């Protein structure tokens, strides 16, 4: 396919050439083969034609197109849930990255919204993990993003997620407050841990409520009072009820380690049970200004993997 790329140059790319910037976005591709896909006539910086040797500054708008471009397939079925004059709330499918990764540059949530909507300059206001589905907020342009990003905690008054977890809790409701930290010696560098007293980290607080009990699984409502990395996933694992399909926090992370080493077997995939972890950003309560009421956005578009799992284990 012919893929058109358009992004704002970050500070880390300031002072380097257009060619260096493009290559840095595709670290898993051979430079010569990638540049062979580039259409030089499409190279634009701030809507002006440039060459590969042109120097970039932070904040520049870089555009270019690649012919015969391919990247790993993802679920691209996003859709609009709500909007006002400045902000949109969209449904993000599971297994769709919200922004560029090392392997997915073209088909990300923000790029899809820009290409397929009336907001070609939409900017993310917050993020969800790759495998998490549900509500994501975007500002309709860069200027509005600058307005709302510093106020995101005030904007999102209430954040509720739903998760399918292993086991049946003995409690109906549970509140967990603790310090979350990354442990340097952990074999899984991205994994968050409940820190021991005295270990530096970040305060975290989640309220849990059991919505449904099955034979060996449960559906849990999770309300976030803080927004730490992997907070819900780490908290539920600590409580003994990791999220179904979570390769980092379930099964002691063994399937995550196998995956990065490319040694996952068919039996392993059957044990994981789903194509992604079963966590959904279900509801956001928005406070748009001090003089108006709240706006509640709900996303009950549970992924197929969620529906299939529930039907199989009801």
pLDDT band for position 268 (cuts 50, 70, 90): low
Of 171, 166, 159, 161, nearest in space to 210 by CA: 171
From 60, 85, 121, 129, active-site residue: 129
Domain boundary among 47, 66, 85: 66
pLDDT tens figures, 167-218: 999 999 999 999 999 877 777 888 899 998 888 899 999 999 999 999 999 9
202 belongs to a structural domain? yes
pLDDT at 218: 97
Tell me whether residue 90 is in a domain.
no
Residue 60 shares a structural domain with residue 165 = no
* Assigned domain for 266 exists: yes
**Does a structural domain hold residue 141?**
no
DSSP 151: G
Residues 6 or more apart in contact with residue 24 via CB below 8 angstroms: 13, 16
Domain count, the chain: 2
Give the domain-ending residue among 13, 44, 66.
Answer: 66
From 66, 95, 117, give the residue that closes a domain.
Answer: 66
Residues 6+ apart with CB under 8 A from 170: none
Q: Residue 72 pLDDT > 90, yes or no?
A: no
Same domain, 273 and 165: yes
Residue at 30 is within a domain: yes
Rounded average pLDDT over 68-96: 95
By CB atoms closer than 10 A (0-12, 13-18, 19+), residue 15 is: exposed
Quick one: which of 21, 91, 28, 92 has its CA closest to 56?
21
The structure tokens listed for 196 are: 């021991």
Residue 280 in this model has a pLDDT that exceeds 80: yes
The pLDDT of residue 139: 98
* pLDDT of the residue at 213: 96
The length of the chain, given as a count of residues:
314
Assess whether pLDDT exceeds 80 at residue 291: no
pLDDT in tens, 16-33: 999 999 999 888 889 999
Same domain, 57 and 166: no
Instruction: Report d(CA 272, CA 172) in Å as an integer.
Output: 26
Beta bridge partners of 298: 283
Q: Establish if 33 belongs to a structural domain.
A: yes
Domain around 180: 161-279
Catalytic residue status for 60:
no
| CATH number for position 226 | 3.30.2350.10
pTM above 0.75, yes or no: yes
Query: 56 and 165, same structural domain?
Result: no
202 contacts 235 by C-beta, under 8 angstroms: no
């Amino acid at each position: 396919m012919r893929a058109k790329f358009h992004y704002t140059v970050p500070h880390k790319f300031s002072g380097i050439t257009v060619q260096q910037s493009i290559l840095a976005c595709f670290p898993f591709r051979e430079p010569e083969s990638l540049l062979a896909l580039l259409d030089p006539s499409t190279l634009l910086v701030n809507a002006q034609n440039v060459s590969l040797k042109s120097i970039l500054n932070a904040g520049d708008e870089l555009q270019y197109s690649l012919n015969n471009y391919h990247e790993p397939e993802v679920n691209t079925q996003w859709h609009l849930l709500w909007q006002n004059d400045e902000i949109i709330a969209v449904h993000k499918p599971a297994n769709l990255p919200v922004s560029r990764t090392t392997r997915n540059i073209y088909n990300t949530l923000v790029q899809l919204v820009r290409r397929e909507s009336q907001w070609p300059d939409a900017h993310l206001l917050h993020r969800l993990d790759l495998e998490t589905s549900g509500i994501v907020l975007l500002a309709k342009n860069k200027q509005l993003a600058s307005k709302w990003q510093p106020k995101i905690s005030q904007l999102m008054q209430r954040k509720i997620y739903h998760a399918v977890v292993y086991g049946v809790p003995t409690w109906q409701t549970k509140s967990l407050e603790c310090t979350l930290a990354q442990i340097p010696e952990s074999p899984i560098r991205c994994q968050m841990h409940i820190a021991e007293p005295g270990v530096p980290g970040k305060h975290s607080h989640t309220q849990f409520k059991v919505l449904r009990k099955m034979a060996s699984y449960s559906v849990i409502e999770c309300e976030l009072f803080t927004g730490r990395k992997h907070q819900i996933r780490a908290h539920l694992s600590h409580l003994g009820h990791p999220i179904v399909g979570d390769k980092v926090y379930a099964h002691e992370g063994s399937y995550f380690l196998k995956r990065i080493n490319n040694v996952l077997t068919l039996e392993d995939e059957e044990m994981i049970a789903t194509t992604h972890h079963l966590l959904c950003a279900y509801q956001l309560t928005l406070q748009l200004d001090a003089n108006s009421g709240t706006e509640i956005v709900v996303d009950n578009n549970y992924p197929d993997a969620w529906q299939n799992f529930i039907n199989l284990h009801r």
